């Protein structure tokens, strides 16, 4: 549809919300809007370069691919023009009037989740185009699509609820953004101020950038330069430019390789894990280049999924030169790249862990969850990833952690398995009955507090040829330790366990004497092979189906405990009372195991028992 008169549109509600936040000074560093607009211009040029590979009928096909900024001190305007892909009328509405694109969407989602209070969180997002409204009275976007036959338009808005679109004659291909600055932001109409800003990062733009007819940047790909020539600030500026970040990265890895593939890679780990903050799943963000030319800004298979938190650039000369996003089907090549980079990154993290444990701990606190995901799901890198995992253990101090290789060095020659126990926290696990047996035998148990740990351990199954075994699993077999004095005899124990099974009926699958107990009178073991007690608790908490199936419980008793010796006497003399005691012992054991699902009967019974005292 072509219209001669301006047409007015309302911004989508989310955009209004976003604009409101942007305009009311979310960012102290207003100058980032220049970076955002230059980066959009660069994206538009990059898209045109790709379009040229496949399309013939391109408007102004011979126009140079470049970005031009113009300041006008008197009129207080800043103009940013590109010869990129441009936008049709519909695209103007779609791209600038709705929240269809990723950066701002994630930002809003974060705000919706209470992120506005977290200034760190805000630092994780670029609000892209809308950042112009931090400094603008009005913004006009003149744009003409590369599609020959599409007319040009001007989109304009003052950042309050609406915008207008009007057809404009005689535009050349690309976009020209004219910002009429607020009085207090007139500094951005000065050549010197913009030059300062551009000099910091325009070198990372792979197209010529001009300011007031002067050429500003020499296009040098930072990742192709030699490491010892590059300053930290240059790396940090590049990271911020490339990943739209507002903070420096926490780690970086810059490396090159010649065999089996020629690779130059520059990878960054951000400060924070936004997934951990409850935001949406991260998308791949390491861009793929071939000799400085962008092939794909977000290739899906360049890295394994668990490395989706990485930012940066991979450049390989071995990619076919004319490759485009659509034709990037050379799976084998991408797989090879994937392998080399992943291996190199793992080595880097491993060095970090051994040589700079504090830095590693900081990394692990944020991104350890991704290492766990990898250990559970990435069969190729499982072993290396397992080495990087950290857990507290019964031998570490609170909040200090240990690794599986370290655990293994502490194993005695008789110990064949690696033990772990999953639960909410250290106190909960230590007050439970499961650890005593291991303590008594000097066996170390890893203490796992994260919900995914159980899944990871189940998937991994073994480390260094040793089985990973849950300490509360029914199948755990521990070596005998000498029987303490004064325990019930074997016959008496047998009588008692048989009686207990009869008295408790269906509530227990099996009752037997325990070789795990040292101090506690009894413990309950979840005998369900398919569902651990911890998993059951989680399912219950989430109201999942299956959580209310009857539980299968084994009761193990301690023939050395005074309670059991007394019960053995009582069961013959006062069977009614003994039955109440037996029920109570089972409930106590279930409580310790976190498996008691309904305490009402227990309370009633306890009063009955108290009457008999």
What, of ligand ADP, Mg ion, none, does residue 95 touch, CB below 5 to 8 Å by kind? ligand ADP
Whole-angstrom distance, CA of residue 30 vs CA of residue 419: 54
Shortest reach from residue 43's CB to Mg ion, in Å: 6
What are the phi and psi torsion angles at 466 (to 5°)?
-110, 135
Shortest reach from residue 178's CB to ligand ADP, in Å: 12
Question: Interhelix angle for 232-243 vs 32-54, to 10°?
Answer: 70
Q: Does position 40 bind Mg ion by CB under 5 A?
A: yes
What, of Mg ion, ligand ADP, none, does residue 463 touch, CB below 5 to 8 Å by kind? none
Shortest reach from residue 39's CB to Mg ion, in Å: 5
Shortest reach from residue 91's CB to ligand ADP, in Å: 7
Q: Measured in whole angstroms, how far is the alpha carbon of residue 247 from the centre of its chain?
A: 17
Stretch that binds Mg ion, among 32-40, 75-83, 252-260, 507-515 (CB under 5 A): 32-40
Shortest reach from residue 318's CB to ligand ADP, in Å: 29
Stretch that binds Mg ion, among 122-130, 292-300, 426-434, 552-560 (CB under 5 A): 122-130
Euclidean distance between the first and final Cα of the chain, in Å? 91
Q: What are the DSSP calls for 432-443, one per residue? A: SSSHHHHHHTT-
Q: What are the DSSP calls for 461-509, one per residue? A: -EETTEEEEETT-TT------PPPTTPPPHHHHHHHHHHHHHHHGGG-S
Nearer to ligand ADP, 23 or 452 (CB): 23
Nearer to ligand ADP, 171 or 470 (CB): 171
Q: In terms of Cα–Cα distance, which of 270, 414, 90 is closest to 285?
A: 270
Q: Does position 159 bind Mg ion by CB under 5 A?
A: no
Sheet holding 174-181, edge to edge: 7-10, 162-168, 152-157, 136-144, 174-181, 77-82, 67-72, 209-211, 214-215
Whole-angstrom distance, CA of residue 609 vs CA of residue 65: 88
Shortest reach from residue 127's CB to Mg ion, in Å: 9
Nearer to ligand ADP, 174 or 374 (CB): 174
Do 70 and 78 touch, CB atoms closer than 8 A?
Answer: yes
Q: Does position 104 bind Mg ion by CB under 5 A?
A: no
Burial environment of residue 138 by CB neighbours within 10 A (0 to 12, 13 to 18, 19 or more): middle
- Collapsing DSSP to helix, strand or coil, 163 comes out as strand
Shortest reach from residue 100's CB to ligand ADP, in Å: 8
Q: Does position 143 bind Mg ion by CB under 5 A?
A: no
Residue count of the chain, please give it. Answer: 613
What, of ligand ADP, Mg ion, none, does residue 346 touch, CB below 5 to 8 Å by kind? none
Whole-angstrom distance, CA of residue 528 vs CA of residue 525: 9
Binders of Mg ion among residues 569 to 588 (CB under 5 A) are none
Pairing of strands 392-393, 462-463: unpaired
Nearer to Mg ion, 65 or 511 (CB): 65
What, of ligand ADP, Mg ion, none, does residue 313 touch, CB below 5 to 8 Å by kind? none
Shortest reach from residue 261's CB to ligand ADP, in Å: 30
| Element at 608 (helix H, strand E) | helix 600-611
- Footprint on this chain of ligand ADP (rule: CB under 6 A): 36, 40-41, 43-44, 82, 84-87, 95-96, 101-104, 128-129, 175
Shortest reach from residue 72's CB to Mg ion, in Å: 24
What are the phi and psi torsion angles at 186 (to 5°)?
-65, -15
Whole-angstrom distance, CA of residue 584 vs CA of residue 589: 9
Which tokens in the block code for residue 385? 């990833």
Stretch that binds Mg ion, among 71-79, 127-135, 191-199, 426-434 (CB under 5 A): 127-135
Shortest reach from residue 54's CB to Mg ion, in Å: 23
Q: In terms of Cα–Cα distance, which of 187, 139, 159, 183 is closest to 29?
A: 187
Nearer to ligand ADP, 127 or 222 (CB): 127
What, of ligand ADP, Mg ion, none, does residue 515 touch, CB below 5 to 8 Å by kind? none
What, of Mg ion, ligand ADP, none, does residue 123 touch, CB below 5 to 8 Å by kind? none
Nearer to ligand ADP, 16 or 441 (CB): 16
CB atoms within 10 A of CB 560: 19
Nearer to ligand ADP, 40 or 264 (CB): 40
Do 58 and 148 touch, CB atoms closer than 8 A?
Answer: yes
Nearer to ligand ADP, 138 or 570 (CB): 138
Nearer to ligand ADP, 85 or 288 (CB): 85
Nearer to ligand ADP, 46 or 587 (CB): 46
Q: Bin 292: left if φ > 0, else alpha if -120 < ψ < 50, else beta.
A: left
Whole-angstrom distance, CA of residue 348 vs CA of residue 363: 12
Residue of 128, 304, 374, 521 that binds Mg ion (CB under 5 A) = 128
Shortest reach from residue 142's CB to ligand ADP, in Å: 10
Whole-angstrom distance, CA of residue 463 vs CA of residue 405: 9
Nearer to Mg ion, 97 or 128 (CB): 128
Nearer to ligand ADP, 41 or 582 (CB): 41
Sheet holding 510-513, edge to edge: 510-513, 553-557, 522-526
Stretch that binds Mg ion, among 92-100, 128-136, 357-365, 378-386 (CB under 5 A): 128-136
Shortest reach from residue 7's CB to ligand ADP, in Å: 19
What, of ligand ADP, Mg ion, none, does residue 559 touch, CB below 5 to 8 Å by kind? none
Shortest reach from residue 206's CB to ligand ADP, in Å: 15
Nearer to ligand ADP, 297 or 547 (CB): 297
Residue nearest to ligand ADP (CB): 128
Which tokens in the block code for residue 284? 């791949």
Binding site for Mg ion (CB under 5 A): 40, 128
């Amino acid at each position: 549809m072509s219209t001669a008169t301006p047409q007015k549109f309302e911004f989508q509600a989310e955009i209004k919300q976003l604009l409101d936040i942007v305009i009311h000074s979310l960012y102290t560093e207003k100058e980032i809007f220049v970076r955002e607009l230059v980066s959009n211009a660069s994206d538009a040029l990059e898209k045109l370069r790709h379009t040229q590979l496949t399309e013939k009928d391109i408007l102004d096909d011979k126009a140079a691919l470049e970005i031009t900024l113009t300041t006008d001190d008197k009129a207080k305007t800043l103009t940013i023009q590109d010869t990129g892909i441009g936008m049709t009328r519909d695209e103007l509405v779609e791209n600038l009037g709705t929240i269809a694109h990723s950066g701002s969407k994630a930002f809003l989602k974060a705000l919706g989740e209470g992120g506005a209070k977290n200034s760190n969180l805000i630092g994780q997002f670029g609000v892209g185009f809308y950042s112009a409204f931090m400094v603008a009275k009005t913004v006009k976007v003149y744009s003409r699509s590369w599609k020959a036959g599409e007319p040009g338009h001007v989109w304009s808005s003052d950042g309050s609820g609406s915008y207008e679109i009007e057809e404009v004659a005689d535009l050349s291909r690309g976009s020209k953004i004219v910002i009429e600055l607020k009085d207090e932001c007139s500094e951005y109409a000065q050549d010197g101020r913009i030059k300062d800003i551009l000099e910091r990062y325009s070198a990372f733009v792979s197209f010529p950038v001009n300011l007031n007819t002067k050429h500003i940047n020499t296009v040098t790909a930072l990742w192709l330069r030699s490491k010892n020539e590059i300053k930290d600030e240059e790396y940090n500026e590049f990271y911020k430019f490339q990943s739209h970040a507002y903070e420096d990265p926490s780690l970086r890895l810059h490396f090159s390789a010649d065999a089996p593939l020629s690779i130059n890679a520059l990878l960054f780990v951000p400060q924070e894990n936004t997934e951990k903050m409850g935001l949406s799943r991260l998308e791949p963000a390491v861009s793929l280049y071939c000799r400085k030319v962008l092939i794909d800004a977000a290739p899906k298979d360049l890295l394994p999924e668990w490395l989706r938190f990485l930012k940066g650039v991979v450049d390989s000369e071995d990619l076919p030169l004319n490759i485009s996003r659509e034709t990037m089907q050379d799976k084998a090549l991408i797989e090879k790249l994937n392998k080399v980079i992943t291996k190199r990154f793992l080595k880097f993290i491993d060095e970090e862990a051994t040589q700079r444990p504090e830095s590693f701990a900081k990394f692990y606190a944020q991104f350890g969850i991704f290492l766990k995901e990898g250990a559970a799901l990435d069969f190729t890198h499982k072993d290396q990833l397992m080495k990087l995992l950290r857990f507290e253990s019964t031998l570490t101090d609170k909040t200090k952690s240990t690794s599986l290789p370290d655990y293994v060095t502490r194993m005695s020659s008789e110990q064949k398995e690696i033990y772990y126990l999953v639960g909410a926290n250290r106190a909960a696990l230590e007050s439970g009955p499961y650890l005593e047996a291991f303590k008594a035998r000097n066996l170390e148990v890893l203490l796992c507090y994260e919900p995914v740990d159980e899944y990871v351990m189940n998937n991994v199954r073994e480390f260094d040829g040793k089985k990973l075994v849950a300490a509360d699993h029914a199948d755990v077999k521990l070596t005998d330790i000498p029987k303490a004095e004064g325990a019930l005899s074997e016959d008496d124990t047998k009588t008692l366990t048989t009686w207990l099974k009869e008295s408790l009926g269906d509530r227990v699958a099996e009752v037997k004497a325990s070789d795990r107990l040292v101090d506690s009178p009894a413990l309950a073991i979840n005998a369900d092979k398919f569902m651990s007690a911890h998993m059951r608790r989680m399912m219950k908490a989430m109201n999942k189906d299956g959580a209310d199936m009857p539980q299968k419980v084994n009761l193990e008793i301690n023939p050395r405990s005074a309670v059991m010796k007394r019960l053995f006497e009582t069961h013959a003399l006062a069977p009614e009372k003994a039955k109440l005691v037996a029920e109570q012992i089972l409930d106590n054991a279930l409580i310790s195991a976190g498996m008691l699902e309904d305490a009402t009967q227990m309370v009633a019974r306890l009063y009955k028992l108290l009457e008999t005292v």
